Chain A
Amino acid sequence: MDEISVVGQVVGGKFGDIIIRQKSGSNLEIGDLMVSEENGSFLILQVFALEYGSQIQDKMQQMMSGVTLEQGIVDAQFYEPEFVNYVLARIKPLARVYKEKGEVKIPKSLPLFFNKLRLITKDDLKFLHKEKESIFVGYIRSGSKVIKEAEVWLPAQDVFSHHMLIPATTGRGKSNLVKTILWHVLDTNKVGALVLDAHDEYFGRQGVGLKDHPRSRENLVYYTPSNPPAGANRLTINLQSIRPEHFEGIVDFSDPQFQAIRMAFRKSRSNWIRDLMLTDAVDAGMESSSPARGEFTAATMMVVQRKLRLLLSLEKDENGVIFSRHDVFDSTTKGLSAVEDIVKNIESGKVVVLDTSRLGDEAELLVGNIIASKLLQKYKDAKASGEMDRKPVATIVIEEAPRVIGVDVLTTRNDNIYSTIAKEGRKFKVGLTAITQLSSVIPRSILANMNTKIILGNEMKQEREAIISSASQDLSEDDKNIASLDKGEAIITSIFVPFAMPIKIPLFEDIVKEKGIQRDTTKTKVF
């Protein structure tokens, strides 16, 4: 190591909290990555705190300050200031890299005492090579410096089946990250994804989006209820696809209400919602005056009808045909195979984006529930018949995840499909990619199962604590680091990376500019 690249020297501390003295002029930053070279290996360390150090006592310094401030002496200076005053950085070891084998291991020893350290370079990060079928998430970041040559790729099949959590508050680059991830999922057919896009922001109806990927025609399927652009599908789900259990864990129905729903299903089977909505509660003899029949009160029936009407935005036209105001649900013959088609697309390793921006919260979750239930069942069947290996990993991307896996939801209502997937989906290659501002309301048991977390900036202490306590690597010293993450900066903690990696996520627009589809303006041969 040449002397010019030295940024500091180990002067004390203990394991996990090593103190180095910064070389004058180095200007270390929180999050900076540095290297301590040792025999046959090197340690990667990270700055987590910075403080001043001085050879002059505090009182003396304060007195000197008084002299310059109060007596107007402008040219007073320390004698050899770089020796006297300096910065101490507290650093922690992240990884030990064995040069010969390129192995990366969790460090168990201190750097050599008085060893000189330098900032990390691209050559130190050669172990970060892209493996087959992996997804790009960003570049290694040392403090605020981005090492563009060190790209971070995650093994797609592993990270998605073991669930991914993206905790962040608004404006920290969440959707940019999700788009970047999905962009790379589109490269291959090894991962299928269902994306419930509550803001209709991923496809790129206006501006750039996933549609600009060179393989979007083969691998991207976009469903929208309104005015689909050429090539996109109309999101219409036939009411026949909905079964009573799809409401479980999503909608608050009382026991009698659920009973009424199940009864309607038993009676009419596939057309149960249509028939139920067209039933006159009183005429149907469901009054409380017939308790012997064990049926429900007219009031219960009416509440069920009202809830379904609101939830699915159902109305009745003059011919008595049930339709939904946002056109997503249909009671006639449209959308009969939509769920099956969507699931098949996911099973073929495609990314299916559902524009749910026109749906209410519960309706969005219900749509996701119908599809996710079918998907999980198919994967379970595939496992039972030994055909699992042929299937790609499937992930369900869901925003505001506590709506379905929050503590309050899971304790007051029955399990829903999302919590089932969070708990057991891994066995069947089905995972969740959960995006949330509030990690603290997701039960620890579920948080701990999310084995990859891409942590974006978060100013809420409680949320940071929840993330830190469930991280795959020790982030106990990273509270301030997380709080100070700028837009597009993130920390990846995962069982699939050797250490908690600080990254910079590139701007999605730049990726599209560089790799996006080029409009074909050559003359087309016509028949």
Chain B
Amino acid sequence: MRFAHLSDIHLGFQKHEALQKIEQDVFERAIDECISRKVDFILIPGDLFHVNIPEMRVQKFAFKKFREIYDAGIPVYVVYGSHDFSPVSNSVIDLLAAVGYITKVTRATSLDDGRIKLDFLVDEKTGVKIAGLSGLKVGKDHEYYEKLDRDSLEAESGFKIFLFHGGISEMKTDSGMDGENMPLSLLPRNFDYYAGGHMHKFNSQKFDDYPRVVYPGALFAGYHSDLEDNAKGQKRGFVLVEFEDKIKNVEFVEIQNAQYKMIEVNAENRIAESVNKELQDKIREIDPMQQIVIIKVNGEMTSGKTADVDVSAIRDELNQKGALVVNINKNQLTSKEYSITEAKGANKEEIENNVFAENIGQLRFEQKNLIGESGVQLAKKLLAGLIQQKLENEKTADYSARIKENAFGIMGLDKDAS
């Protein structure tokens, strides 16, 4: 018996047309691979979509593909991720579940003593027992896991899988993305397989009482830094697991996505002119045709403005030579002459995180969820909720109501109370 484990597909994340095509293509090929390998079921622990309601183009190809899986008789078990989560069941995930293409795993009931009971669902064909928790509302993850009725989950016999969406501290391989991880000990023990989502790099580990904890990683890219990682050789794909009464084999199935060229320039203690020259030299050494070109300039220049590092000319030149996409990252470029104190970060997510962390640090509120790490997470969720664009043909009033309702949900407020 075998199952596939995919996560962090982030459908709808890409804004550039060429990247959108790759995003769709990679997803379709991964699903085709699952079907051709005759998996018994598919697990997707979160962030299948980049937002809870992606644009129609994305929904169209996603529905088409899920229909194919459905027709092939392969059940798909899903929990919400941090991106496609909707506190009011207003996510395309719910739509897919309503038509029967996927099954939401979380079956939680609240007990009178404050604990949360999670029930298993049983995969009909294999008898595998599956339980899971979604990536939850801000700051609630810890609370939910702490309140779990662990005994009943741990005592259950048979082959068990736990789906979850969240970073595990013990499995971090780098120090980026702070404040979003939880210790492994929060997960109930003694499951045969822990299907994780949220961490964007493939990682498979064994721990005492947690025989196999696996993150397949993003299928293509869900953060801006993912493309950079891809350019540096990060493999993308999904995980195929063979099992009987125990796990027999965990295989990472690579799904190729694109060709990359990476150019890095260290501007430390240099002037813009010499940085520009090095950039020019380096781009002339590469053939960017049909390639995703990632350019990263970092360090502190001795003089001039960071804008003096002329990326537009470089972009034009690469585009003329047929580059698929040119992605230039100057976030870590500073200049001694024009230094300003601002939140630092290697990418958009880190900068957002740091900006919120710095500013929230100045605030004094009674409500604990508005300050500290939970405040940062809340602000980030709220930002993500508020920047959602209007859908095609959506009326302004509907759009406004939807955004408001989502924002109230994120903040845990009752909209009628306003």
Contacts and interface: CB of A to CB of B under 8 A. Distances in A.
Interface of A: 189, 217-218, 227-234, 236, 327, 333-338, 340-341, 344, 386-387, 390, 519-527
B178 interface: yes
Interface stretch (B67-75, B165-173, B265-273): B165-173
Contact of A227 (B110, B171, B208): B208
B207 interface: yes
Given A335-B170, A527-B108, A521 B114 contact: yes
A252 B380 CA distance: 50
Given A218-B368, A337-B169, 14 more contacts: A217-B146, A227-B209, A228-B184, A230-B185, A230-B186, A231-B183, A232-B183, A232-B185, A334-B171, A340-B175, A344-B178, A523-B112, A524-B110, A527-B89
B134 A234 contact: no
Contacts of A341: 169, 172, 175, 181
Given A340-B175, A344-B175, A523 B185 contact: no
Interface string B97-136: 0000000001011111111100000000000000000101
B142 interface: yes
Contact of B175 (A337, A387, A524): A337
Contacts of A523: 110-112, 114
B205 interface: yes
Nearest to A343: B175
Contacts of A236: 170
A337 B178 contact: no
B372 A218 contact: yes
Given A228-B185, A524-B147, A336 B114 contact: no
B373 interface: yes
Nearest to B409: A527
Nearest to B358: A390
B372 A189 contact: yes
Contacts of B205: 333-334
Contacts of A333: 173, 203, 205
Contacts of A390: 358, 361
Interface of B: 87, 89, 106, 108-116, 134, 136-137, 142-147, 150, 169-175, 178, 181-186, 203, 205, 207-209, 341, 358, 361, 368, 372-374
Contacts, number: 96
B372 A524 contact: no
Scoring A335, A338, A390, A523 by chain B CB atoms within 10 A of each residue's CB, the highest score goes to A523
B269 to A, nearest CB: 15
A217 B142 contact: yes
B131 to A, nearest CB: 13
The 3 nearest A-B residue pairs measured at CB: A228-B185, A526-B108, A340-B175
Interface of A is mostly: loop
A520 B259 CA distance: 53
B172 A336 contact: yes
11 contacts: A217-B142, A218-B373, A227-B208, A227-B209, A228-B184, A229-B185, A230-B186, A234-B185, A341-B181, A522-B114, A526-B110
Contacts of B145: 230-231
Contacts of B87: 527
A210 to B, nearest CB: 16
Nearest to A522: B114
Contacts of B106: 527
B173 A525 contact: no
A229 B186 CA distance: 8
Contacts of A327: 208
A233 B114 contact: no
B114 A519 contact: yes
A26 to B, nearest CB: 49
B311 to A, nearest CB: 26
Contacts of B134: 527
B109 A526 contact: yes
Contact of B116 (A228, A231, A344, A524): A524
Contacts of B368: 218
Contacts of A336: 172-174
A233 B185 contact: yes
Scoring A234, A338, A519 by chain B CB atoms within 10 A of each residue's CB, the highest score goes to A234
A400 B182 CA distance: 32
A519 B372 CA distance: 22
A228 B183 contact: yes
Contact of A233 (B110, B142, B147, B183): B183
Contacts of A230: 145-146, 150, 185-186
A499 B251 CA distance: 69
Contacts of B185: 228-234
Contacts of A229: 185
A228 B146 CA distance: 13
Contacts of A334: 170-171, 205
A234 B113 contact: no
A519 B174 CA distance: 35
A52 B114 CA distance: 65
A218 B179 CA distance: 11
Nearest to A189: B372
B114 A231 contact: no
A526 B175 CA distance: 32
A525 B109 CA distance: 9
Scoring B89, B109, B137, B186 by chain A CB atoms within 10 A of each residue's CB, the highest score goes to B186
A231 B142 contact: yes
Scoring A189, A218, A390 by chain B CB atoms within 10 A of each residue's CB, the highest score goes to A218
Nearest to A223: B183
B136 A527 contact: yes
A521 to B, nearest CB: 4
A231 B169 CA distance: 11
Contacts of B182: 231
A521 B142 contact: no
A337 B372 contact: no
